[in-house]
Structure formats: C-alpha cells, structure tokens
Structure 1
Amino acid sequence: MQFTDLQAQYAALKSQIDSRIQRVLDHGQYIMGPEVAELEGALAKFTGSRHCITVSSGTEALLIALMALDLQPGDEVITSPFTFAATAEVIVLLGGVPVFVDVEPDTCNINAALIEAAITPRTRAVMPVSLYGQVADMDAINAVAARHGLPVIEDAAQSFGASYQGRRSCALSTFGATSFFPSKPLGCYGDGGALFTDDDALAQAAREIRVHGQSARYTHTRVGVGGRMDTLQCAVVLAKLPRFEWELARRHALGERYRELLAGLKLQLLAVRPDRDCVWGQFTVMVEGRTEVQAALKELGVPTAVHYPRPMHQQLAYERFAPAAGCPVSEQVAARVMSLPMSADLTEADQDQVVAALRSVVGA
C-alpha cells in the first residue's frame, strides 16, 4: 500500500501528461515558456484571484510574499508553531522574528482568538497555516489584521482546492501561497508553487522578485531571487487540472468515509468546521502511544507518517523564538498526531485495510 499513490494518478493521466511534456520538449522553452502563463491564468480563475504568480516552490512563495511586503530585519510575523519548517524559515531568512501563536486543539490550525494579544509595534504581517487541508479561521484573522493595518499571508501549501465560506483557499487574504510538491492535493513532478493576490502592485512586485528583481531584462528594480517555476512542471500541473475537481470530490468522499469508519475507535478525529471543508492534504488523527501504534501498523502493511513530531518553537534552529509560556497545545498535538494513507486514488479496499488494522491496534 502506498501512503500517497502517485503511480495510480499517473496511470490515469498518462496520455495527457506525456503529451504536455512532449509539447515542451518540442518547443524547447524550458524557462518561462507559454505553459507558465497558461497555468497562471487557469489557477487564478480556479481560485477567483486577480493574479497568480507561479514560483519554484511553496517555500519560495512564502519568501517572495514577505519580500513583496518589504519585511525588514527585526520585523515580527505572527504565525503557527505547528507547521513545516518553511513557514518560520522564510521569516528568519529575511531577518524577521517569528512570533508563535498556539493552535486549536481540535483542528491544529492557529487559534485566531490568541492573535491580537501577540501584536506589537514591530508586527508586520500575520501568516496563518491552513493545515492538513482545512483553511484556518480567515475571517477572524483578517478582522484582527485589518484593525491593526496588517497584511495576511495564507500558507496554503496543504489546502489548495479547499473552500471557506464559499471561497477558495489562496483567495482569502492579502496573499495566498501554495505548494505543488508531488504529494500535495495538486502536485507537479518536482518542486513548484504559486502566489495569489488581488493587489496589482504586490503582484507586480512578486513577478519581479521571482526573476532576480528585474522589471525588464537586466533592469534590476529590486532585490530578488531565482524563483521561477519551470515550464515542464507547469505542463504537468496543466495536465492534471481537468481531473482536479474529480480528485477534490474523491478526497472529500474518502475523508468522510474514514471519519465514519473510524468513529468509536480509541483515537481523536480532527474537527472540520461547518463553514468550510477539508481537502485532506493529510488525513491526520491523534492517538496515544503513537510510536507503538505506528510500529504495529507497519507490521500489518499500513504506512503512516507524522506531520509534525516537534513544533517549531522546540526546534534547535528556532527555539530562541519560543514564547515564555511555550505553546502547550502545539506540544500536546505534536506528541499524538499520525497521518494515514490518503490520495484521490486510494481504493476503498485499501481504506478498509487501514481501518481494520487500526481497530486491531488501538481498539474500540
């Protein structure tokens, strides 16, 4: 059993993907070829954003967003400690200070009710993470940010395609940043990502930053990076897009089926708020004795993963930014979260095997 079945997805889309790649090989425009603009137009339409800027990774998307907002050394960015390192990494790389605000115990997303108390005169932005495929409470976050004149960057690396009050993830704030890492809800065959915004000036800044700050060839208007998404990766995503709505529906159905089958077992399911859905970038549950549970499941042929075993404020590279009181909820969930096999091509038979193995290990 595959944790994420990319082979089955490729088999279903082989002719479309092969054709798209061959087209790039034929025209030879491997950097900023026509597929780049085509994909940006399609993704902007999908999300409802005015602008989409494809970039080389989800990490680069976050970095470019902060650069477009002119983050300066010493500026603070409020974010979640329960996330992948990239979220905090880009803040520190620019000399900024990540200010960690604890998460909700039932969704693992940043607790919007705690954000305002963390704002100081040095706060420059708020960067919530839409973890596991469910959007954070963006209306509450945006309201707090608006009161203090702060931009909001949604780290939507795991939630592309998710809905929040009828709107798409990535089109809910100043910037939305996502990843096309292969195992994401919409993935390429390498690294890739995208930024979304309705702000014309920020979009122009992001486009210039991703090509070394150039407003025209060899005209460097601002400091930038080499942050382009290459044409081949754009071609792969274009080939996958026509199937994506089906994949989202399939993820929703498999997620609900997991929740029904796992109800009553000795584990905790994540809450999904009634005003939003979840695309299950990871199908994550919480269990006691995780190490033993994982080992037992492995013996039964069921792969698992942990996203994430240690929150950022307890990582050696970032512990100097730890709040004085810690982030107790993040610490608690980090000890218990466990992700189960999930992809649009997961079969019901494999899902039944996962549930049966879990039942035998954790009990009802």
Structure 2
Amino acid sequence: MTTLVWSYQDEYAAERVDILDAVDSVFSSGQLILGESVSRFEKEFAAFHGAEHCVGVDNGTNAVKLGLEALGIGEGDEVITVSNTAAPTVVAIVGTGATAKFVDVDPATYLMDTSQLAAAVTDRTRCILPVHLYGQSVPMEPVLKVARAYGLEVLEDCAQAHGARQHGRAVGTAGGAAAFSFYPTKVLGAYGDGGAVLTGRAQVDKNLRRLRYYGMEERYYVDALPGHNSRLDEVQAEILRRRLRRLDGYIAARRAVAARYQEALSDTSLVLPAIEPGNDHVYYLYVVRHPRRDTIIERLRDYDIHLNVSYPWPVHTMAGFAHTEAAKLSLPVTERLAGEIFSLPMYPSLATERQDRVIESLRAVLATVDAG
C-alpha cells in the first residue's frame, strides 16, 4: 500500500512542458532579476483581483512584513491578529518591531472573531491583520468598521486564500494592502518561494518597491530605510504567470474534492468545514474536527495514511513568544481547536480512488473510536 501524502510530482508531470518552457524563456531572456516576467506577473495578478497595484516579493512572510512597513507600522505599534494561524504571520509582525495582539476565533469557521476587535484596541494599536484561513475570507465589513472607527490600517493575510471571494469581492482588495504567499503547496504555488503584496494606494505601492530593493528608488542610491533584499525571482514569476491562467481550474478541482468529502462524511461524528455567509471557499485545506483527533490520526497510520494538523500549537503558546505579553493570554476557542482539528488530503490532482481510500479508512477508524 502506498503512503498517501501530497507531492507536486503529479501536477508537475501534467504541466512539465510549460514549466520547463517558462524556465528556458527566462534563462534565454538575459533578465534574471526584476525583469519582464516579474513586471508582467504583477500586472496580471493585480488584474485578476481587480486591484490597482501588485509588488512581487521573495516569500509570503516578507509579504506580510513589507506590507506592514509600507503602511507605516513599526516599533512600538500593536497589530491585532489571531493565534490560530501559521507562525510566519506573527514572525513578520514581530520583525517590524511591532507587537502582535491576539483575539480569539469563531468556533464554527475558525476565522477571526470580529466581535472581539473593538475591545482589543488600545492607544498603541495601528493595524488589524485578518488571516483568511484555510481558503475562505474573514468577514471584512466588521473589520473595516472597527478600522474606520479607530483610524487603523488593515493588512489582509491571503496566503491561504488565492481566488477566494466574499460577496463577490476578491480577497485582498478590502484593506490598505494584502499579503500573498506562493509557497509550492498554496492554491497558486510556485516551484520555490515567492510572495506578493496587493494595494490600491499609489504611495503604498511606491513604499513596497523601495522596501524590497534595499530602500532604493534608483540603482545604487538608498533613499530611505528600512530596506530589504526581497525581490520575487524572475523564474518563479514566469512560472506563476502561467499557473495563474490555470488558477480557476485548480480551485474547481479543490472544490470537487471538498464536495466528495462533504457527501461521504456528513453522517459521521466529524465536524466538517463551515462556510462563512457570502464566502466562496477555495479549500486550500480541508480541516475537520473531532475531540479524539490524536487517536484518529494514530489509527489511520495503520492504513498508511498520514494526516497533518493545521495548527497543533497556537502561536501564543509557542516557546519563541514566551517572553511576550501574548504568552499570558487565554484564548479558549483557539486552544481547544488546537487539540481537535486536522486536515484531510486536499490538492487538485488528488485522484478519486486515493480520496476514496482516505474516506473508507477514516470511516472505519471513526466507527471504532466512536464505539469507545
């Protein structure tokens, strides 16, 4: 029996000719850094979202970090976000010199509980950073309402939600800026690291272009600090340009996988994903919930099925943040979820027969677990 884990190999096999042509086109162009491929991808990615500007950067973490800096967030500021997220979200906040302040998440969708935002604002708060988690959007109107009331910036973390929409509006177009990751497993993934920031504001776009290139507006002359070496690679940009044309297809395939899970598992004891009203979910991950999560995962290994947990440790409980005020927090929903949620295999090339094996094995395990 073959262990069922995600690999890019199937997708690479299907797209190999185009991917290799993308690489060759860049190597043949004579432009390896900030050339035509980056410029074209920025225009095309912005157009896909109906955004004014896109700036390609080297990875999703720096997309968040540079996005914050471009909005003027820095030393001594507070950024309100969630602890139920990938650690890089918070690492990026801390990297600007700001402090992450956490609110809890909604127990049904696992997204930011926007009802807690107003109470979390202090005189140091400068930004709200909603994380569009697992493939769907945080309710943005309550976020924007609080931001307007207190004069705060909004940076959307869209690393897991390429192509998702809320009430018809593309994620990443509601706030002052939005950060994307193109890590290979993402809904739109590169063949290495990559990231981008969208914005509708010309000054933020200008700030981002300076920030990613040492603080320079012209070559060899640093206009202002901070500055970074955070450029999107030309090869990855060309690959992303071509894969962007297939993004709608990737999303359709993910939704088909999710629909099969929904149909096959709706009568089990698993809590299946809940969709926020108005959201078009793109299913970066298919996250389910069960109070005996660890037992289920362990027993599935007997079937040679190895599942992932996203995320087993809330950020505020990690040793790396033990010295911060966040370590003293109690976030009951987030902390409970960390012991119950896990992800089922989810990728566009997941064959029906492989998914059926997951479903059948999972149902068999649940029958024994639920029986005590």
- After TM superposition, the score normalised by the length of structure 1 is 0.97
- Asked if structure 2 preserves the Cα contact closer than 8 Å seen for 1:3 and 1:342, the reply is no
Q: Match for residue 265 of structure 2? A: 262
Deviations 1:132-151 (Å, cap 9, x if unpaired)?
Answer: 11111111111111111111
The one of 122, 126, 129 equivalent to 2:128 is 126
Pair 1:340-2:344 in alignment: yes
Give the C-alpha shift of residue 94 in structure 1.
Answer: 2.0
Distance 1:3 1:123 in 2: 41
Q: Match for residue 313 of structure 1? A: 316
Q: Match for residue 249 of structure 1? A: 252
Distance 1:86 1:45 in 2: 27
Deviations 1:224-277 (Å, cap 9, x if unpaired)?
Answer: 111101101111112212221111111112212211211011111121023002
- Asked if structure 2 preserves the Cα contact closer than 8 Å seen for 1:142 and 1:152, the reply is yes
**Pairwise CA RMSD of aligned residues?**
1.3
The one of 159, 164, 169 equivalent to 1:162 is 164
Q: Match for residue 15 of structure 2? A: 13
Distance 1:274 1:243 in 2: 26
Give the C-alpha shift of residue 322 in structure 1.
Answer: 2.1
Pair 1:290-2:293 in alignment: yes
Pairing of 1:37-56 with structure 2 (within 5 A): 37-56=39-58
Instruction: Classify the secondary structure of the residue corresponding to 1:268.
Output: coil
Distance 1:200 1:15 in 2: 37
Deviations 1:64-87 (Å, cap 9, x if unpaired)?
Answer: 011112223211000001111111
The one of 27, 30, 33 equivalent to 2:29 is 27
Q: Match for residue 302 of structure 1? A: 305
Distance 1:325 1:86 in 2: 19
Pair 1:239-2:242 in alignment: yes
Pairing of 1:70-109 with structure 2 (within 5 A): 70-109=72-111
Tell me how many residue pairs correspond in the alignment: 364
Instruction: Classify the secondary structure of the residue corresponding to 2:245.
Output: helix
Deviations 1:158-190 (Å, cap 9, x if unpaired)?
Answer: 101111110111222111111000000000011
Distance 2:310 2:289 in 1: 11
Instruction: Classify the secondary structure of the residue corresponding to 2:310.
Output: coil
Corresponding letter in the other structure for 1:258: Y
Give the C-alpha shift of residue 17 in structure 1.
Answer: 0.9
- Asked if structure 2 preserves the Cα contact closer than 8 Å seen for 1:153 and 1:175, the reply is yes
- For structure 2, the residue ranges without an aligned partner over 5 or more in a row are none
- Asked if structure 2 preserves the Cα contact closer than 8 Å seen for 1:132 and 1:283, the reply is yes
- Asked if structure 1 preserves the Cα contact closer than 8 Å seen for 2:139 and 2:276, the reply is no
Distance 1:113 1:3 in 2: 38
Distance 1:70 1:151 in 2: 9
Give the C-alpha shift of residue 284 in structure 1.
Answer: 0.8
Q: Match for residue 277 of structure 1? A: 280
- Asked if structure 2 preserves the Cα contact closer than 8 Å seen for 1:162 and 1:279, the reply is yes
Corresponding letter in the other structure for 2:274: A
- Asked if structure 1 preserves the Cα contact closer than 8 Å seen for 2:157 and 2:179, the reply is yes
Distance 1:275 1:311 in 2: 27
Give the C-alpha shift of residue 30 in structure 1.
Answer: 1.6
Instruction: Classify the secondary structure of the residue corresponding to 1:292.
Output: helix
Q: Match for residue 205 of structure 2? A: 203
Q: Match for residue 361 of structure 1? A: 365
The one of 112, 136, 139 equivalent to 2:138 is 136
Percent pairwise identity? 36
Give the C-alpha shift of residue 325 in structure 1.
Answer: 5.0
Give the C-alpha shift of residue 292 in structure 1.
Answer: 2.0
Distance 1:333 1:98 in 2: 20
Pairing of 1:167-178 with structure 2 (within 5 A): 167-178=169-180
Which of structure 1's runs of 4+ aligned residues deviate more than 3 A? Answer: none
Instruction: Classify the secondary structure of the residue corresponding to 2:163.
Output: coil
- For structure 1, the residue ranges without an aligned partner over 5 or more in a row are none
Instruction: Classify the secondary structure of the residue corresponding to 1:284.
Output: strand
